[in-house]
Amino acid sequence: MFANDIVSLGSGAVSRTFSLTSLTDTKSVRSDPSAALGSPYLMTISHQAVNRGKNASTGAALLADRHLVRFDATFVGSDGIAKTVSIQCVAEVPQAAESEAIAGDLLTRLSHFVHTAAEFATNRDKLFNNEV
């Protein structure tokens, strides 16, 4: 299990501490206790086993593990209406010995795509401008 408190670094090197608020066997929700009540920051981590069909030659189930990390921030817009921004990363990894190394490589690539200092603003802007 993750620690009860998770520190996450955001824009401008501002960190937020997300403290455990609820826990089940497959999901935890954490919130930033310093955030205003009407503008919560939440972090969700969850896991789910999924069936991706059957192996064509053996008929065996093709199982995968789905892992999710999600951040939600609620704020009051200039129009006075509360809005929530959500960013999530979902990894779906087949239950096979070689899958973990491949998934790790892909996660590193995603991290560099959205976080490399020289390209971050460009990649972020293109993503949020619906570029493909």
Amino acid 14: pLDDT: 85
Residues 6+ away with beta carbon under 8 Å from 108: none
Amino acid 5: pLDDT: 95
Number of domains in the chain: 2
Amino acid 117: pLDDT: 58
Residues of the chain with pLDDT under 70: 116-120
- 30 and 41 part of one domain: yes
- CA–CA gap between residue 132 and residue 114 (Å, rounded): 15
Other C-beta atoms closer than 10 Å to the C-beta of 76 total 12
- 73 and 40 part of one domain: yes
Q: Are 97 and 111 in contact (CB under 8 A)?
A: no
Amino acid 11: pLDDT: 78
- Which pLDDT tens digit goes with each residue over 96-106? 888 999 999 99
- 18 and 63 part of one domain: yes
- 68 and 110 part of one domain: no
Instruction: Collapse the DSSP code of 114 into the 3-class scheme (helix H, G, I; strand E, B; otherwise coil) and give the result.
Output: helix
- 89 and 113 part of one domain: no
Q: Tokens at residue 65, please?
A: 């593990």
Amino acid 64: pLDDT: 95
Amino acid 132: pLDDT: 84
Domain residues for 110?
97-132
- 36 and 84 part of one domain: yes
Q: How far is CA 56 from CA 62, 65, 95, 108, in A?
A: 10, 20, 16, 31
